[in-house]
Amino acid sequence: MSLRVSGIDVFYGDLQALSGVTLEVKKEEVVSVIGSNGAGKSTTLKCISGLLKPRRGRISFEGRDITHSPPSKIVGMGVSHVPEGRQLFPNMTVRENLEMGAQFPRVKALRRQTLGQVFDFFPRLEERLNQKAGTLSGGEQQMLAIGRGLMSRPTLLMLDEPSLGLSPMLVSLIFRIIREINRAGTMILLVEQNVFHALDICTRAYVLENGSAVMEGNGQQMLQNGFIRKAYLGI
């Protein structure tokens, strides 16, 4: 059970955003992708979830080629993408937003049970169940975005900047919950500007620069790496 991205090239019009990106997420792993703004981190996630199509290369999940599959089919296979900026439905309630995450027959039937699991991770969402998403605080909105991502019962959860705009305390909380979600059996692929937390939580990490993966390694080792400390941690 794993995700394998092999040598993908992606273009926005004439502009090449990714060149030959190769990465892998294996069973039980938390994998972080770090890099400057514009390095191609979000683009990589969008390719995996099928929102963008690579011009070259191959993406497979659990041994099946998903390079040309539509996003709906990829979600159905167990890949869930929590986008940057949350992208909630602000005028829908917390419950409605969560239910939007469980639209396939297979997961729809299990909706009540999945909701219970989401509330175990985020008790706050249960308290806010009938409140409109747009009236939640930033931290609660991020919880809802992750919760919605869990409603499709993914085996791979991809998170794009879950710490964006959150207070230091909420950042710690969100990372703690990401770890719990992983321990409960979900692979995590994480894109983060909070490099310290991203490396601290992960099994392995990749560094993207100008659309290419230039480095790969163990998270704790990368935290100690001189180049990473200087270029990405500012130490």
Partner 1 sequence: MNALVVESLSKNFGGLTAVQGLSFELHEREILSLIGPNGAGKTTVFNCLTGFLPLDSGDVRLGDRSLKRLRPHEICRLGMVRTFQIVRPFLNISVLDNVLVGAMLRERSLARARAKALEVVEFVGLGRFSNALAAVLPLPLRKRLELAKAIATRPRVLLLDEVMAGLNPTEVDELIQLIRAVNQEGISVLLIEHVMRGVIALSQRVIAINYGQKIAEGRPEEIVKNPAVIEAYLGREFLESQG
Within a 13 Å sphere around the CA of 125, how many CA atoms are in the beta-carbon half?
25
* Cα–Cα distance for residue pair 143/184, rounded to 1 Å: 17
In whole angstroms, how close is the CB of 33 to partner 1 at the nearest point? Answer: 12
Strands 30-34 and 187-191: parallel
Which residues in the 140-199 window bind partner 1 by CB under 8 A?
A: 140, 161, 164-173, 193, 195-197
Determine the Cα–Cα distance for residues 143 and 146; give it in Å rounded to an integer. 5
Output 11 or 196, the one with its CB closest to partner 1: 196
Min dist. Cβ of residue 65 to partner 1 (A): 32
Q: Which of 70, 78, 61, 45 is nearest to 150 (CA)?
A: 78
Instruction: Closer to partner 1 by CB, 99 or 216: give it.
Output: 216
Residue 72's CB: how many other CB atoms inside 10 A? Answer: 10
Q: How far is the CB of 72 from partner 1 (least distance, A)?
A: 29
Q: How far is the CB of 143 from partner 1 (least distance, A)?
A: 11
| 200 forms part of the interface with partner 1 (CB under 8 A) | yes
Shortest gap between Cβ of 137 and partner 1 (angstroms)? Answer: 3
Instruction: Work out whether 209 is an interface residue with partner 1 (CB under 8 A).
Output: no
Residues in the chain: 235
Interface with partner 1 in residues 26-85 (CB under 8 A): 34-38
Residue 35 or 83 having the CB closest to partner 1: 35
What is the nearest approach in angstroms of partner 1 to the Cβ of residue 61?
A: 28
Residues in binding contact with partner 1, number by CB under 8 A: 32
With contact defined as beta carbons under 8 Å apart, do 45 and 189 qualify? yes
223 binds partner 1 (CB under 8 A): yes
**Closer residue to partner 1 (CB): 115 or 223:** 223
Q: What residue ranges bind partner 1 (CB under 8 A)? A: 34-38, 137-140, 161, 164-173, 193, 195-197, 200, 223, 229, 231-235
